[in-house]
Amino acid sequence: MSAPSAPKVSERVREILVDGKIRVEIERVRPQIDAGRFPIKRIVGETVSVEADVFVDGHDAVRCVVRHRHERETACRETEMKALANDRFRGEFVVEELGRYRYTVLAWVDRFLSWRQELARRVDPEDILVAAVGGAELIAQTAARAAAPEAERLRAWADRLRRERDASKLKRLGLDEELLALVEEHPDRNLATGYVRELEVVVDRTLARCSAWYEFFPRSCGREPGAHGTFRDCEARLEYAAQLGFDIVYFPPIHPIGHVRRKGPNNALNASSGDPGSPWAIGSDEGGHMSVHPQLGTLADFRGLVAKARELGLEIALDIAYQCAPDHPYVSAHPDWFRWRPDGTVQYAENPPKKYQDIFPFHFESEDWQRLWRELENVLEFWIGEGVTIFRVDNPHTKPFPFWEWIIGAIKRAHPEVIFLAEAFTRPKVMHRLAKLGFTQSYTYFTWRNTKQEITDYFIELTQGAGREYFRPNCWPNTPDILTEYLQFGGRPAFMVRLVLAATLAASYGIYGPAFELMEHQPREPGSEEYLDSEKYQIRHWDLDLPESLRDFVKRVNQVRRENPALHADWSLRFHQTDNDALICYSKSSEAHDNVVLVVVNLDAHHTQSGWVELPLEEMALEQTRPFQAHDLLSGAHFLWQGPRNFVALDPQTAPAHIFRLRRRVRSERDFDYFM
């Protein structure tokens, strides 16, 4: 009978056997997503605050640093981590360029700092004399690692510790802050512990964190009712969007539209000869994903529109819909890119009970999937070449996760300025996975969150939960696909309420216009969220000058957003108590707390609601005993408040919301009070 085989040695045990003198442990490094599988997100100029549990057996002192570098760099920079409590340390670094940064934690036992801490506790003169000898040796070892003139200074310090016989003087020498700073410049890291992996942060431009989007259909920009709009007609609509204070104008697909199985008005199965069809039914004999609809103009016209947008301070975002009309050139050229049914027809798109007979989805599991992926990458590269760097991606949750990780990673390595917005109204875990995989921003469930409790719970999750490191919310009160019940029956106040909520709860938001500011609210049929005479299936002519338009209100809200840094980010969002559930109250503040915005909204679109709001004045840098000013940035009114509890009343027909800038009273050098 043979002897039993020796048990396998784990990798960790192997490491210990290699060098058992490495004693420091590093745990619970934050932030990181799924054990470092995915990167966190920041914008240029933001700070990454890194925390970790760093500890060692016994009572030795440890030091640790955050090591960080841009992906193009080979050498790491370091930031010292400071002790918090319970062996928790924190360090920070600023991301200064677009692209990816890598960061990790390095820690080691600091023998000199350990010696210094022991020396501070010693009181017996003989103990101090003995300890001084050990300290001198540590300083001499540090000198051996240093270059002149620091080496000479360190050796001189070691000699003084060896020669001095007065215990009190020895203690002062050993605890000298100048000596500590000098030794810390030349640490002994021979037995340093590195965290088990490098973590990553994707760094985007400012619009990735804070942006206001305006969606409109270029074909509905014609100068006369029924006329098909052109790119040149769109210039006036761009000026309109710029006047309203938006940052990004988003176009639904601008490609040729299929003729086969074209949909008619209100999604009718049979279209007449003059019906334009759905822009999402992409492709015909006139071209595909790298072509523009001939009635809109030429690629040269589109480039001119992109340039015009830039002149106005806008960027144009394009819809990327990876799907085809039945007569798209891909269908005949690459039939294996589609799923064929037993009867010899291609499986069209469905989202029961909705059917899209005019749309063929790609078959991402086809044998030719690699060529398909490369072609879809070419589509993005083409439009980037035409000056587009922002894409709203249609239904990404119906395409494979590996595809998105690959294509977004490839595009952003070559073009780190590109922004991707995920239109994925689907299950939460799927939405979050897409954000982890690389989508810059994500649509949210805000559209269907109406009550105080629903809004509070959801936005606490978005802004305070773990997902905030990678999931950037973009809130839309309406889209061409979604006309909520609240907007259908709430009248003008409902549109005002949802605009204020979207624009202040989230740093990024958008509206589908002009349907929004003209308060389009008729559903196709009772119980439906589809618009009657939806612009998805027909050309609409919009009178932007109607007196009842909300354009001035939209403009004012966007102006408030631009002028208040507190509204440019999400993490400072805090909800405050009200004694009336029809009123919701929340605030945001800038990092320095020099800009505090308080929002109070009446969620009841039909009745005046009033009540008391309670504010945490200390967190807002306001004094309990001194009055402060609540300046309503919508109406211009000023209110003088004092103490944490204050009364509000909001009539939805006149002013369904307050957006206050809170200002504290200060005394000037000339001895008079003013608010700032």
Confidence of residue 237 (pLDDT cuts 50, 70, 90): very high
- Beta strands in 60-181, from DSSP E residues, in sequence order: 62-70, 77-80, 82-83, 88-94, 99-109
The yes-or-no verdict on residue 665 having pLDDT over 80 is: no
| 574-675 shares the fold of 205-568 | no
Region 202-228: what's the mean pLDDT?
97
Distance CA 269, CA 533 (A): 14
- Whether residue 490 contacts residue 605, with contact meaning beta carbons closer than 8 Å, is answered with yes
Least Cα distance to 571 among 465, 428, 476, 498 occurs for 465
> Which superfamily is assigned to 205-568 in CATH?
Glycosidases (3.20.20.80)
Kindly report whether the peptide bond that precedes residue 187 is cis, defined as omega within 30 degrees of 0: no
Looking at CATH, the fold of the domain delimited by 23-110+191-203 is given as Immunoglobulin-like (2.60.40)
pTM of the model: 0.93
The yes-or-no verdict on residue 673 having pLDDT over 50 is: no
- Type and span of the H or E element at 376: helix 369-385
- Whether residue 609 contacts residue 493, with contact meaning beta carbons closer than 8 Å, is answered with no
Residue 344 pLDDT: 86
What percent of the chain has a predicted confidence (pLDDT) above 90?
88
What pLDDT, in 10s, does the model give residues 505-557?
999 999 999 999 999 999 999 999 999 999 999 999 999 999 999 999 999 99
Cβ atoms within 10 Å of 544's Cβ, excluding its own = 13
Confidence of residue 666 (pLDDT cuts 50, 70, 90): low
Confidence of residue 349 (pLDDT cuts 50, 70, 90): confident
> Where does residue 267 fall: left (phi above 0), alpha (psi -120 to 50 degrees), or beta otherwise?
left
Gyration radius of the chain's alpha carbons: 31
What pLDDT, in 10s, does the model give residues 19-43?
678 899 999 999 999 999 999 999 9
Residues 6+ apart with CB under 8 A from 247: 207, 211, 212, 213, 313, 314, 315
184 flagged as catalytic: no
Mean pLDDT lowest among 122-126, 449-453, 457-461, 467-471? 122-126
CATH code given to domain 574-675: 2.60.40.1180
Least Cα distance to 49 among 87, 105, 106, 107 occurs for 105
Out of 375, 423, 517, 535, the active site residue is 423
Confidence of residue 4 (pLDDT cuts 50, 70, 90): very low
Residue 327 pLDDT: 97
Region 67-93: what's the mean pLDDT?
97
423 flagged as catalytic: yes
Domain ranges of the chain: 23-110+191-203, 112-184, 205-568, 574-675
The yes-or-no verdict on residue 477 having pLDDT over 70 is: yes
Out of 200, 394, 517, 535, the active site residue is 394
Pairing of strands 473-475, 508-512: parallel
